[in-house]
Chains A and B, each alone.
Chain A
């Protein structure tokens, strides 16, 4: 049992056009003190998974089944006002766009201080110290001055540092980072990744890194969950998925541009399927170059193929026999 165990989670969006199965029966486990990668293309259900764990899925989304066990306790059965104990304290979330995830009207000190005051019942001055202490943790230069500034006075990278500090304010045990570097310059990306790695090392933070960047996965994560169209394709340690990948993971890895590449960029043909009327069988089969008749008929079960490597593919064994 890990720090967080997600079991058979199903989150559907009930739109007017039909039911979108954004997350359809996924299970994974996060071990304390490690970094788990959650990979997939846009629309594969990565963010919805994080939102489901915190139960902040936007309407018309609804969690329709499964369990979210945090230290063995199922938080999906809790009442809404009990979730306040969970959000921010046990699990916290860093968003993709630091600019829109800070309230533009309040200074950094006010909006971070508010959170501390709401949760910890401390005085204003203590909350201010708390905020400055946390801002130091994320290496924000001159935090005493920064608390008096408004969000628009900071650069994107600084704003993301502030957002990370905000997520850390209440000392959560688990941190979801939802593509925290997607909206940042490449140089700043590296800084934020380094910061997250340092935090993980120094305070033993458990981290779930949501990304589509295989480079970040290779750099940071010990374990990886590969999602496609709301289904799990594979779970494994970073080495195994790089060495013996699922056909989808293989396609993702090939799509990473390389400097020594002389031919045109490789991409995965087709698009992520329409989730209202998903393909039958394995959802990846229309785009998979190894697909056989059986892939169209039945959803492949998630099988343990050894060393905790879980695979949902009929063809994988055959493909990796030689290795």
Chain B
């Protein structure tokens, strides 16, 4: 105990006394690539927040019109004025990528939030309750796992997209792109099953530990045990999964848009790739830079996910 130890190691005790978050952060800080990835994500967030100030050219007034961006400089290779070059329609690619980052962040956050709610509830409840509850939830999970999800995402995206009459929905003055939100829902619905299985497994392991029995023997309810005892103990895994889900969400959305099934009213990175696909042979920069944006973002999330799983691994004690 802190007080009974000698002065010589009291600082060590103080250090050990930190909560698991402090310990995880201390380990994360030693992870060079993890910090680099975190820096990239921070940069992405800043770009998304200040996109209107950072971009040299305004966003397209609506996705189909390129009007005000024409300056007679269509299909220009990268230069000082247009660092990423311009498209055949004459838009500045750097500006488009900067504006598109907003949607990337939106997709990453919303898909992950929805996926994780399902993951946590299904995983913990199935793992903890066991028996028929587990049986039913796991069979449902398997149904979602065996669906050819890419195909179904495309089918549903097209199906719902046809019913969208308005491009935006105004929420507290913020314009939410309806078409993109539909894709977010579809991706989330098909994305939680694998994660839920992992959290279920972790719950099964936690459930066997004696502190759960102890909580039960002191009259704790099932709900209390699940969300006060088990949830915090599986949170490290949840955070790692959330980070990796962000990466895959960005990738899936870019893929859907690239195939032409995206929201026709938003210029996401995937849509840039799709619009410029035909010009790739003679204007490589039109594809390379939006593609690089997707690649670096996904890479950053994956690196951070890796670093987090190292930092929060309870088996790796300092």
Residue of B17, B210, B217 touching A150 (CB-CB under 8 A): B17
Interface residues on A, range: 35 or more
Q: Is the CB of A100 within 8 A of B1?
A: no
- Contact across chains for A149 and B219 when beta carbons are under 8 A apart: no
Are B17 and A97 neighbours in the complex by a CB distance under 8 Å?
no
Residue in contact with B221 in the complex, picked from A84, A101, A142, A146, CB distance below 8 Å: A84
Among B32-40, B58-66, B226-234, B249-257, the one that faces the other chain is B226-234
- Kindly state whether residue B8 has any CB partner on chain A within 8 Å: no
B214 and A114: CB pair below 8 A? no
The 8 Å CB contact of A105, one of B3, B13, B217, B232, is B232
Q: Which residues of A contact B16 (CB under 8 A)?
A: 152-153
The residues of A that contact B215 with a CB separation of less than 8 Å are: 103
Whether A149 lies near B210 (C-beta < 8 A) is: no
Cα of A96 to Cα of B217 in the assembled complex, Å? 14
Instruction: Type the 1/0 row for B108-125, where 1 means its CB is closer than 8 Å to any CB of A.
Output: 000000000000000000
Residue B213 interfacial (CB < 8 Å): yes
Does A141 contact B232, Cβ atoms closer than 8 Å?
no
* Complex-state Cα separation, A58 to B221, whole angstroms: 15
- A163 an interface residue at 8 Å Cβ cutoff? yes
B219-A89 in contact (CB<8A): yes
- Report the minimal beta-carbon distance from B202 to chain A, rounded to whole angstroms: 14
Distance (whole angstroms) from the CB of B148 to the closest CB of chain A: 35
Tell which of A59, A115, A149 touches B1, judged by Cβ atoms closer than 8 Å: A149
Closest beta carbon of chain B to A46's beta carbon, Å = 15
A residues within 8 A CB of B213?
A: 51, 56, 58, 95, 101
Contact A114 B3 (CB under 8 A): no
Segment 53-79 of A: residues with Cβ below 8 Å from B: 54, 56, 58-59
B130 contacts chain A at the CB level, 8 A cutoff: yes
Q: Interface size for chain B: under 10, 10 to 19, 20 to 34, or 35 or more residues?
A: 20 to 34
Q: B218's contact among A59, A92, A150, A153, by CB below 8 Å, is which?
A: A92
Assess whether A291 is interfacial by the CB under 8 Å rule.
no
Look across to chain A and name the residue whose beta carbon is closest to the beta carbon of B5.
Answer: A153
User: Could you tell me the distance in whole angstroms from the C-beta of B274 to the nearest C-beta in chain A?
Assistant: 46
Contact flag A54-B217 (CB < 8 Å), given A142-B1, A150-B19, A153-B17: yes
Selected from A56, A103, A163, A170, the residue in CB contact (under 8 A) with B229 is A103
Q: Is the interface of B mostly helix, strand, loop or mixed?
A: helix
Chain B's closest residue to A142 (CB) is B3
Task: State the CA gap A105–B217 with chains docked (Å).
Answer: 19
For the complex, give the distance between the alpha carbons of A237 and B17 in Å: 47
What's the minimum C-beta distance from B236 to chain A, rounded to whole angstroms?
10
State the CA gap A56–B219 with chains docked (Å): 10
Interface residues of B in 222-253 (CB under 8 A from A): 224, 228-229, 232-233
Q: In the complex, A84→B4 CA distance in Å?
A: 37
Tell me if B26 counts as interface (CB < 8 A to partner A).
no
Q: Quick one: which of B23-79 are within 8 Å of A by CB?
A: none
**In the complex the two chains form, is B1's CB within 8 Å of A170's CB?**
no
| Docked complex Cα distance between A163 and B214 (Å) | 9
Contact with A along B202-220 (1 / 0, CB 8 A): 0000000111011111111
A154-192 vs B, Cβ < 8 Å mask (1 yes, 0 no): 110010000100110110000000000000000000000
| B292 interfacial by beta-carbon distance below 8 Å | no
B211 touches A88 (CB 8 A): no
Say yes or no for A48: interface residue by CB 8 A criterion: no
A146–B3 alpha-carbon span in the complex (Å)? 9
**CB neighbours of B210 from chain A (8 A):** 95-97, 100-101
Q: Check: A145 CB closer than 8 A to any chain B CB.
A: yes
Q: Say yes or no: is A212 at the interface (Cβ < 8 Å to chain B).
A: no
Is B229's CB under 8 angstroms from A141's CB?
no
Top 9 A-B residue pairs of the complex, sorted by shortest distance between their CB atoms:
A88-B218, A101-B210, A87-B219, A84-B219, A100-B210, A93-B217, A88-B219, A101-B214, A103-B211
Listed A/B pairs (14) with beta-carbon separation below 8 Å: A59-B131, A86-B219, A93-B217, A102-B214, A103-B232, A105-B20, A105-B233, A106-B232, A118-B219, A145-B3, A146-B1, A154-B1, A158-B1, A166-B214
20 A-B pairs besides A95-B210, A95-B213 with CB distance below 8 A are A54-B216, A81-B221, A83-B219, A84-B221, A86-B219, A87-B218, A88-B219, A93-B214, A100-B209, A105-B19, A118-B219, A118-B220, A118-B224, A145-B3, A150-B17, A153-B2, A155-B1, A158-B1, A166-B214, A170-B219
Residues of chain A whose beta carbon lies under 8 Å from any beta carbon of chain B = 51, 54, 56, 58-59, 81, 83-89, 92-93, 95-97, 100-106, 114-115, 118-119, 141-142, 145-146, 149-150, 152-155, 158, 163, 166-167, 169-170
